[in-house]
A and B are shown apart, each in its own frame.
Chain A
Amino acid sequence: MRGITVIELVREVRRSYALVERNFNLIKRYIGWEIVFLVYTVVNTLTIAFIGVNPAGGGGGGGDRVLYLVVGALLWGFLSVLFHEVAESVQWERWEGTIEYSFMAPMKRLSYLGGVCLYAATYGAVRTVVVMLAVVSLFKLDLGSANLGAAFVVLLLSSLSFIGVGLMAAVLPLLAPEKGSQAAHILEAAILLVSGVYYEVDVLPAWLQPLSRLSPATYTLRAARAALLRNASVRDIGSDLALLLAIGVVLIPLGLKVFNWGELHAMRTGKLKRSG
C-alpha cells in the first residue's frame, strides 16, 4: 500500500466511526430485540453456571466447576458476538441495499471493516459485562486464584484472531448472496463444537481433535482458564498467547485480502446490488 499521511489516517479513523455510530443507532431502533437477546444470553449463561453447581452427574458441584463453565460461556458469548457482527455486516447492508452506497464512499475498506470491528468489540464487551454482573450477583465465584491481567491479555489477542476469522466469513455474502451467511453460521457452530468451550477438547472423539487445534477459540479458552482458575501468568500461557497473536497477524491481513478479492468479484459479477 502507498504511504498515507497522518491527516489521511485521522480522516480514515473518523470515517470508520460512521459504522460505530450507525450501529449504535440501529440498536436504539431495535431495542426490543436487544433486550430479548440480552435476557436470553443472561439466562443461558446462568443455566450453564447452574450445571456447575449441580452435584449430580459426577464430579461433585462446586466453585471451580462453576467458574470453569462461566469462563467458557462468557468468552464464547463475547467471541461469537464479535464474529457475528463482523461476519454479518455485509449481509445486512446487502439486505438493506445500502452496500452500494457504503462501498461507493471514498474510504479504504480497512477503515470500513475497522469500524465494524470497533463496534463489534465495544458492543460485545458491554454485553459481556452485563452478563458477568448477572452471574456475579447469583454465584459466589472464587477469584482468589485468578490472574485478571493475564485473562485480559488473552481476551485482547483472541479478539484479533476472531476478527480475522470474521473477515473471512464477511466476504461470503459477496460471493454467494443468499447462502453466504448460512455458511458463516455453520462455521461458528463448528468452532463451538471443537474448541472446548464447556469441556476439555480431549473428550472429543479422536477424529475431531485435530480440528480443535485449528480453532483459535481452543487456545483462548485454555489460556483464559489457566489464568482465571490456576493463577497462570502471561509467561505461563505464553505459547498460547503467541499462537493467538500469530493467528491474528496472519488472518487479519489475509481476511482483508480475501475481502478485497470478494469485493472485486462482486463488482465483476454484479452481486453488490439487490434491486434497481
Chain B
Amino acid sequence: MQEIALECIGARKVFYIRKETRPKVKPSSEWYTSPGEGGTGGQDIAQPGAGTVEPDAHAGAGEGEREPGTGVGNGCAGVRCDGNGGLDIHSACNGGPDSHASRGTGTNGRHRGRLAVSRVVATLFPKSVKVEAVSGVTFSVKRGEIFGILGPNGSGKSTLIRLISTLLLPDEGEIRVFGHDVVRERFAVRRLINRVSVEAAFFKKLSAMENLSYAARLYDVDIRWARERAIDILKRLGFSESKAYEPLEDLSRGMQQKVAVARALLTSPVLLLLDEPTTGLDPVSKREVQDFVLEVRGSHDTTVILTTHDMQEADRLCDRVAIIDQGRFVALDTPARLKAGLAKNGETVTLEDVFFTLTGKALEESRLDEGDYSD
C-alpha cells in the first residue's frame, strides 16, 4: 500500500445558491402612513440597499417557501405574506442606512420613521449567488496520519470532506486517495473510505442494528461478523447493547453519533473521514470516541481526516492540523509548531489562540454566524 493516503491538489468547489433577492417594489395606490410603531423585524434577511416598489402580478412569496432567515434585523421591516402573492408591508424603518428585506420585499428609505401600510405585489428575482466553498486547497496526508481540519462555520470543511468522499465533484483540481482519483476512479476510492458526518444520518425508525446491517450489506461485509463487530464497537463506545434494538429516533443525539461511528468502522476503511464526530457528545463520550479513533489508527493503520470545532480534541488527536478559512488553508503544521509560531517570549499559547489569530474571529462569534446551508 502506498505511503501517501491522500493527495489534494488545488481542489476547488463552487456552489450556486438560488436566492430570491430583494425585488423592485412600487407602492400601489392606497399608500397611507401613520405614526410609527417600531417594527419588530420579521424573518429578516439582511440585504443592504433598498429597492423601489413596483407592482407585478407574478409574486411568489408563498408562506411555504420560507427559509429561516439569518438576518440581524434592526427592527426595520416586519413583513407578512397575504397568501395570494401580494404582500402587506408594515414597516417602520428607523434603523440605519441599510434597509432590510424579508424574502423578497423591500422597504424604502423614504418611509423611514413612520408606519406605511400598503398592498403591494412584488416579483421575486431568483438569483444565483456564487459561494466558493473550497478554493484551491492543496495538501497531502501520509498513511496512518491523523490530519485535522479546523475552521469557522461555513469555511468549507464539510465540503472538502465530501469532495474526498466522492459525494461532490470538484470544479478544479485533483484529489487522489491511495493513488485513485476521486472522480475517475470513484468506485475504487469508495472501497477504501468511510465517513462520519456531523448529522447522524439514519433511517430513524429503524434500530441501530438494522441500520448497521443495512450498511454492512451495502459493503458486502459478512453479516454475522458485522453484527458481532457492531456490538463490540458500540460497547467500546459506552453504548449499552440493549439500546441497539430500539428505534434510533428514541436515542439521544450523542448515542446516534456513536452508531454513526460504528457504521463507519464496520467496513474497515483505510481512510476514515470524520466530520465533527464528537459534536454533541458529553465529555465522557467524547473521550471514548477520541480514544477509539487513536486505537483504530494504532491497530489498523487507518488514516484519519478529522474536522472539529474542539481545539483540545485537535491538539490531542491530530498529527498535523490545517486551518481553513473561507475555503482556503491559512495554516498547516503540527499543533506544536503552530503554537510555537505564535508564542512570544515564553508565554503559553493554545491551539485556540492560533485559531483566533489566523481566522480573525472569536470562536463564539463564529459559532453564531450560521454558515450552514440547508434546503
Please list the residues of chain A having a beta carbon within 8 angstroms of any beta carbon in chain B.
Answer: 11, 14-15, 17-18, 21-22, 25-26, 29-30, 96-98, 100-108, 177-178, 264, 267-270, 272-276
- Bound Cα distance A21, B214 (Å): 8
Known: A18-B217, A26-B206, A106-B190. A274 touches B167 (CB 8 A): no
Residues from chain B with Cβ under 8 Å of A15 in the complex: 217-220
How would residues 192 to 203 of chain B score, 1 for a CB under 8 Å from any chain A CB and 0 otherwise? Answer: 011101110111
A275 and B199 contact, CB distance less than 8 A: yes
- B107 contacts the other chain (Cβ, under 8 Å)? no
- Bound Cα distance A268, B16 (Å): 10
Residues from chain B with Cβ under 8 Å of A101 in the complex: 195, 201, 215, 263
Residues from chain A with Cβ under 8 Å of B190 in the complex: 104-107
Residues from chain B with Cβ under 8 Å of A270 in the complex: 15, 159, 162, 168
Residues from chain A with Cβ under 8 Å of B204 in the complex: 96
Please list the residues of chain B having a beta carbon within 8 angstroms of any beta carbon in chain A.
Answer: 15-16, 158-159, 162, 165-169, 187, 190-191, 193-195, 197-199, 201-206, 210, 213-215, 217-220, 247, 263, 275, 372, 374-375
Shortest CB–CB separation between residue A101 and chain B, in angstroms?
6
- Bound Cα distance A30, B205 (Å): 8
A-B contact pairs, 19 of them (CB 8 A): A14-B220, A21-B214, A26-B206, A29-B247, A98-B201, A100-B165, A100-B195, A101-B201, A101-B215, A104-B167, A107-B218, A108-B187, A267-B166, A270-B15, A270-B162, A270-B168, A273-B167, A275-B199, A276-B158
Residue among A11, A25, A272 with max Cβ neighbours from chain B (10 Å): A25
- Bound Cα distance A96, B206 (Å): 11
Cross-chain contact of B201 among A100, A108, A267, A269 (Cβ < 8 A): A100
B220 and A272 contact, CB distance less than 8 A: no
- Bound Cα distance A101, B218 (Å): 10
A14 and B201 contact, CB distance less than 8 A: no
Residue among B198, B210, B214 with max Cβ neighbours from chain A (10 Å): B214
- Bound Cα distance A106, B267 (Å): 11
| Pairs A-B, 9 closest by C-beta atoms | A18-B217, A97-B201, A276-B199, A105-B218, A106-B190, A29-B205, A275-B374, A106-B191, A22-B214
Known: A29-B205, A98-B201. A104 touches B169 (CB 8 A): no
B210 and A269 contact, CB distance less than 8 A: no
Shortest CB–CB separation between residue A47 and chain B, in angstroms?
31
A267 and B199 contact, CB distance less than 8 A: no
- Bound Cα distance A264, B213 (Å): 27
Residues from chain B with Cβ under 8 Å of A103 in the complex: 167
Residues from chain B with Cβ under 8 Å of A177 in the complex: 375
- Bound Cα distance A178, B167 (Å): 19
Cross-chain contact of B203 among A22, A105, A178 (Cβ < 8 A): A22
For residue B163, which residue of chain A has the nearest CB?
Answer: A267
Shortest CB–CB separation between residue B337 and chain A, in angstroms?
31
Residues from chain A with Cβ under 8 Å of B168 in the complex: 267-268, 270, 272
- Bound Cα distance A104, B169 (Å): 13
B210 and A22 contact, CB distance less than 8 A: yes
